[in-house]
Amino acid sequence: MKLSTKNLLGIKDLTPEDIQLILSTASQFKDVLQRPVKKVPSLRDVTIVNLFYENSTRTRISFELAEKRLSADTVNFTVSGSSAAKGETLLDTVNNILSMKVDMVVMRHSASGAPHFLAKHIPAAIVNAGDGINEHPTQALLDAFSMTEKFGSLKGLKVAIIGDIMHSRVALSNIYLLTKMGADITVAGPPTLIPKYIAEALNVKVEYNVKKALQWCDVANVLRIQLERQNQPLFSSLREYNQAYGISRQLLESLGKDIVIMHPGPINRGVELDSDVADGPFSIILNQVENGVAVRMAVLYLLANREN
């Protein structure tokens, strides 16, 4: 089977069959990653550039590891130390890199739509590693993989996405993916951080009381407060946010049921998640990070395979 798309720009463009194919391929790569020799020759003749115009720890390392495990040749570009800092345009930068015979581009950019713009202008396959407040498709795929590992299926799973929905590309990609795969979604948080028409536009429930959302769900995907994307204050203080919307151990214990806690990282400890929850028995946050490598191997492998 092959993906229906040449690039991975967003979950919005994928079919449920594409998502299923990526998740089942990731499962095979996860088996490979448990072996003493974690490397396969699948992308031996493929050259990939990781083009990161915005900071990243997990996604960048995860893509780099995935590429190395697949035996691809990789080049890393970060904006600081490059000629982008001298004013070179995105398209000029990429065309110069492509002239050195690069097959795929993994790209993170603070501007929503940057990878879509590139896809219109260059022949190489593009993987969106997060664009502004638009999408973060491989994060949603690794979240889905982690939920499937835990629950067996996404169909009918009750997922609460909690926190700064307004500025979160992780929220949007998760909503697209979980809706396509038949999960039930509630978004929860302060009214100022939840887009006004999200219920109608994206077919999700909205809950402003986090405790009620937690009582309803099987799994809570808790999001970072993205202060760097907020031009004006949208809540009174981080301390008050934590009191009203943060997830504490006491709050979890008051539910009378077990739920799984997820977070894409980086965590603002003591704001959206208390440390004893982030590091506690219900958290699968580091499993998410581990699964990211297998999921990104699957995405790169399937996109490269599609081109052949």
Binding footprint of ligand CP on the chain (CB under 6 A): 56-59, 130, 136, 139, 264-266
Looking at the Cβ atoms of 176 and 216, the one nearer to ligand CP is 176
Q: Write down the least CB distance from residue 249 to ligand CP, Å.
A: 23
CB 170 within 8 A of CB 264: yes
d(CA 213, CA 90): 41
Nearest approach, Cβ of residue 291 and ligand CP (Å): 12
With CB atoms as reference, the residue minimizing the distance to ligand CP is 59
Residue with Cβ nearer ligand CP (131 or 274): 131
Alpha helices (H) along 1-57 = 16-33
Q: What are the backbone dihedrals phi and psi of residue 106, each rounded to the nearest 5 degrees, phi first?
A: -100, 125
Minimum CB–partner distance for residue 286 and ligand CP (Å)? 12
C-alpha to C-alpha distance for 18 and 35, rounded to whole angstroms = 27
Judge contact between 28 and 70, C-beta under 8 A.
no
Q: How far is the CB of 147 from ligand CP (least distance, A)?
A: 16
- The least CB distance from residue 141 to ligand CP, in Å, is 12
Are the C-beta atoms of 275 and 45 separated by less than 8 Å?
Answer: no
**Among residues 6 and 58, whose Cβ is nearest to ligand CP?**
58
Nearer to ligand CP, 168 or 242 (CB): 168
3-state helix, strand, coil in the chain (%, to 5): 45, 15, 40
Which tokens in the block code for residue 272?
Answer: 């959206």
Q: Which is nearer to ligand CP, 91 or 227 (CB)?
A: 227
